[in-house]
Amino acid sequence: MNKTRFGLPEKVIFCKKCVESNQRFVTTYQFKRTREEKLDTAMFDDSGVCLSCKYFEEKEKIDWKLKEKELIDILDRHRSKNGNYDVIVPGSGGKDSIFTSFILKEKYNMHPLTCTWSPGMYTDIGWKNYNSWLKAGFDNYLFTPNKKVHRLLTRLAFINLLHPFQPFVLGQCYFPLRIAVEKNIKLIIYGDGMAESAVGKSNSSDQKKEKNTSIPIINDNQNKVPRLNYAKKNEEIFLSGENVNEIMEKYNFSKADFLPFMPMEEEVVLESNLELLVITGYLNYNPQNNFYFAKERSGFQVNPDGRSEGTYTKYSSLDDKLDGLHYYTFYAKTGRGRATEDAAREVRNKIITREEAVALVKKFDGEFPKKYFKDCLDYMNITEKKFNETIDKFRPLHLWKKEKRNWILKRAVWHEDDPK
């Protein structure tokens, strides 16, 4: 009998418009995530089209001038009259954070404070792009968490969840809120959102839906702080798949060592009256256009290898040596990797056709991230044998079969018409 995991549907479905599958996680970073917690997956309508593609269909009907006016109204409510910071822009110095910070400062006359949660292991190109962003004219808070704690949590997240990126993403999620509360800045604007790559229950739970559909109306959530950003008082917190108090006791750390990786208390967040929004809900987004913008305005550089491992693109997720490993573990758990993520988005943005996307996914998805592999093993303090054992342990058997020594996908987008 086939064995599914993480609540993944046993029947694999591929979107009829792009190359996304129903195996894609939507909620993957919540602080209560345990080893086998059931996760939301990408949703499809009755015709077999994923809701991200439906989202892009809705975008074509939007009056973007009206949306921009809504954005300006929000900015006007927060605009500083004395030159103080009035909006936080989280980012790493990638194309989206560069575009967002520039457009807010130069077009809309805001006073952005940028903030960055440091990667576990900066790449050379990531560090260059980060500094080029700031040299282009932005103030920034760079927070580097306790490296001993970060490495431990990364190791545990890999072993317990096959999700080595979880500690980084949790810190990245909580850090802007801490800065906002500390600096009394009420507005946080992100350059990219989940709706561009996956729309599911977690994205639409607070939103109105069209009658008899699951399609969310864009930006109808009153800019609330999502629940995953804060915890109720005395709520049990898990990090890297384990109770945080048990980790502290076992490895002799204090609560202060773990605070940056933990959510703020609900009362503090809600009483701060923060507004969080994604600029892609108000300005029509195209990742390729953002790349050209960032290259022109801050000297943003692409992957010097020509493309990133596991995909054909060269301008996304460049700053952390763990990036490639993250996408590879995602591929092992879901059967869809970095090339699927990039190709699906470029189909939706009408940069490539579905046929081209299928060919690119077949060629690049699941490529092993060998460039920084030894660095990642050293960072997580695990052996190559332990690495392979852990990867194989998490492969859902409804997706994978082993032939001789090789793991083979049972269902892939390039043989979706195969009756097997």
Residue pLDDT tens, the chain, 420 long: 457 787 788 999 999 999 999 998 765 445 555 554 556 667 888 889 998 898 888 888 999 999 999 999 999 999 999 989 999 999 999 999 999 999 999 999 999 999 999 999 999 999 999 999 999 999 999 999 999 999 999 999 999 999 999 999 999 989 999 999 999 999 999 998 766 666 544 333 333 333 333 333 344 445 677 777 888 888 888 999 999 999 999 999 999 999 999 999 999 999 999 999 999 889 987 878 888 999 999 999 999 999 999 999 998 889 999 999 999 999 999 999 999 999 999 999 999 999 999 999 999 999 999 999 999 999 999 999 999 999 999 999 999 999 988 999 999 999 865 444
Please, which residues have CB within 8 angstroms of residue 249's CB and are 6 or more apart in sequence? Answer: none
Task: State how far the Cα of 75 lies from the Cα of 72, in Å rounded to an integer.
Answer: 5
Q: Which two three-digit tokens encode residue 412?
A: 């892939």
What's the pLDDT score for residue 206? 38
Q: Please name each of the domains of the chain with its CATH number.
A: 64-281 (3.40.50.620)
Dig out the tokens for 209 from the structure. 């839906």
Rounded Cα distance, 149 and 138, in Å? 29
Whether the CB-CB separation of 397 and 403 falls below 8 Å is answered with: no
pTM for this predicted structure: 0.90
* pLDDT number for residue 25: 77
Output the pLDDT for position 224. Answer: 73
CA 281 – CA 45 distance, rounded (Å): 22
Contact of 20 with 52, CB cutoff 8 Å = yes
For residue 122, list its beta bridge partners.
320
The angle formed by the CA atoms of residues 209, 214 and 217, to the nearest 5 degrees, is: 40
Residue 205: per-residue pLDDT: 37
Which tokens is 343 given? 């190709």
| Separation between Cα atoms, residue 256 and residue 212, nearest integer Å | 48
